[in-house]
Amino acid sequence: MSVNQTDPMIGRLIDDRYQVRSRIARGGMATVYLATDLRLERRVAIKIMHGHLADDASFKERFIQEARSAARLAHPNVVNVFDQGQDDDSAYLVMEYLPGITLRELLQDHKVLTAEQAMDIMEAVLAGLAAAHRAGIVHRDLKPENVLLADDGRIKIGDFGLARAATANTATGAALLGTIAYLSPELVTRGIADTRSDIYALGIMLFEMLTGEQPYKGEQPMQIAYQHANDTVPAPSTTNPSVPVELDELVLWATARDPEHRPRDARALLDQLLDVQRALADPSGPPVGRTMVLPSATATAVLPDSGSGTGASTGETQILPKARHRTGPIGPETDSNADRLRTAAARRHRRGAAWLVIVVVLALLVGGVGWWFGSGPGAQAEVPDVSGQDPAAAAAQLIQAGFEVDSENRSDFSPVVPAGQVTATDPDASSRLQKGSTVTMVVSQGPRQLEVPQVVGGSIDDARQALSDFSVRDPSQQFDEKAEGTVLGIAGVGADGNAVDLSGGGQYGEQQPIDLTVSLGPVPDVVGQTVEQAQATLQSVELAGVESGREYSGTIDAGSVIRSEPQVDGPVRPGDTLNLVVSDGPAPITVPDVTGKTIDEATAELQGLGLRVAYDACRNFTCAFYDWEASLPVTATDPGAGGIAYAGSTVALSYRVE
């Protein structure tokens, strides 16, 4: 996993719950990050509004509206929204994490899709959008960037950031939102959008999937907007001749300039797409999207094909001949008024009986459908969240919810779910499925084991970068002779919860917590400072100092600190208290009685006590002939015997020449 070191959000804990891991994408309103929900122990995508928009009330309201709109939807083809909130100045939105690519990336790689591929993608998108339209929500920003293609084959619509309630048309004023290449004519000209505006955007997307390009091009956005408002989208087959005529008609229907000529919503377009799929899969079946002209006794009646859903005539017209009137003589019985009345009455009776049968059958069908989808096998239920449970308990909860459990579990590495517990389900939790559907459990193998790099002795910044595959927590700091910012140690957390020394490297789980110990530099030197000065110096680095004792010192002035010592064994950390030993000045010394001893003997004794000795040189001429210092006795001292002197002070000797 790559980490952008320049992004301040990386590593941040949002709302004491969501640990931001890496950046996924950046948009106009927000940036999307991969994060871990520490409470539920699952990966999520978290969308965080750009900081410069936080003070803009309209942008903030639109961002919050996305959460409210999307949270109302529960459909397998719509990205699930789990949470929304604000942490400090950051408004955020929590969604399901869907690893994969966008439709835009697929088009960039493959340019043109086959008709089957395009229809498969459109079917999933229309199914999700139909749920939104049914809930009264208009997406307003449909484009390939907002269609997500998961690695496991799921297709979902995301980013309802511009969605508005569709209960009434909404004018945006001068600021048209969305991407200009997919804006409907009514949005360009009047700033009004409803469900049919989404249909227009899907028609442009289908054109792009079938041809590899958008129908309108221009150097300036206004040139493209003008074409949307005034031109008619061409048939895709004019660019790609292999496109079937049925898909041509579908694109032209969806991109009609007049909203009244488009499908009323995604459900109508989805029904027609399914008819087109069936027709292309079985060319021998009845034509799709063609007007059928049925015979009538008096005129030719033109009726729309039931699959089109619009009543508009497109494609070829099949005209059947009018029914011929019966000719020849009319017998007396048929010419009788009474007979004609009896015949009419019988006909009405048969019609009444037929209608009664139809009503009964319809009632039975409605009741059966209601039972099927209400409490029968066709009823839908929400897949419960069983992550963090052992497989047996999770299977029991899924069965209780009405689902079948796949006998073969899948396994996957998980940095947050312990090995042997369920980390996810397929389909995801909160998906709505028919009861009886099979759900596969994904069981955690624990975190993937990775090699821990050597970081001790290096800087903290280099260590963070080298350990990007792990969860580096705030480092602990201590004073040390090594330079400030140097990594002194690295430790992980073992299965028993105790620290594991990783200074020598080794294997450790991906995204598992890493604790670093970092140097703050040496403890400040306070020797020679007064107690007040020493305490202030230590307080500046979050240490405390207390006077703990006094000692004599011949080198440190009285009242100044001789040394500082930790109160407890071990490294010194911020918040610790140091003992300050203060000087009482030089130690007092009682001068001994050295009278009667030779000068050399007295000197040696006094110097041994830390005193200095002074005496006058012998000027008697006889002193030149012998060692007078080793022979002449001391007669007196200053200070005298019993007096007080201090280490380093001088005692004067007096002697007598005999």
* Beta-bridge mates of residue 653: 637
Bridge pairing between strands 291-294 and 317-319: parallel
Is 496 assigned a catalytic role? no
| Structure tokens given for 161 | 């950031």
The two most distant CA atoms of the chain are separated, in Å, by 192
Q: In this structure, how many other beta carbons lie within 10 angstroms of the beta carbon of residue 112?
A: 18
**83: helix, strand or coil:** strand
> Is the preceding omega at residue 427 within 30 degrees of 0, hence cis?
yes
Q: At what angle do helices 245-254 and 266-281 cross, to 10 degrees?
A: 170
- Which string of DSSP letters, residue by residue, matches 316-368? -EEEPPPPPPP-SPPPHHHH-HHHHHHHHHHHHHHHHHHHHHHHHHHHHHHHH
CA distances to 360, 381, 382, 439 from 375, rounded to whole Å, are 22, 10, 14, 20
- Please, what's the b/e burial string for 374-401 (b: 16 or more CB within 10 A of its CB; e: otherwise)? eeeeeeebebbbbbbbeeeebbebbeee
CA dist list (Å): 424 to 77, 97, 382, 429 = 18, 12, 14, 7
Q: How would you classify the pairing of strands 18-26 and 561-566?
A: unpaired
Q: What is the three-class DSSP state of 90?
A: strand
Hunting for tokens 């229309």 — which residue is that? 126
From residue 425, give the alpha-carbon distance in Å to each of 124, 172, 357, 388, 476.
Answer: 20, 41, 47, 11, 38
Cα(580)–Cα(557) distance, integer angstroms: 14
What Cα–Cα distance (Å) separates residue 61 from each residue in 23, 28, 94, 135, 258?
24, 15, 16, 20, 31
What the block records as the tokens of 355 is 């209608």
The one-letter amino acid code at 355 reads W
Q: Whose CA is closest to 266, among 142, 382, 131, 366?
A: 131
Of these residues, 37, 83, 141, 480, which one is catalytic? Answer: 141
Question: From CA 59, how far away is CA 64, in angstroms rounded?
Answer: 9
Instruction: With beta carbons less than 8 A apart as the criterion, state whether 94 and 83 touch.
Output: yes
Catalytic positions: 141
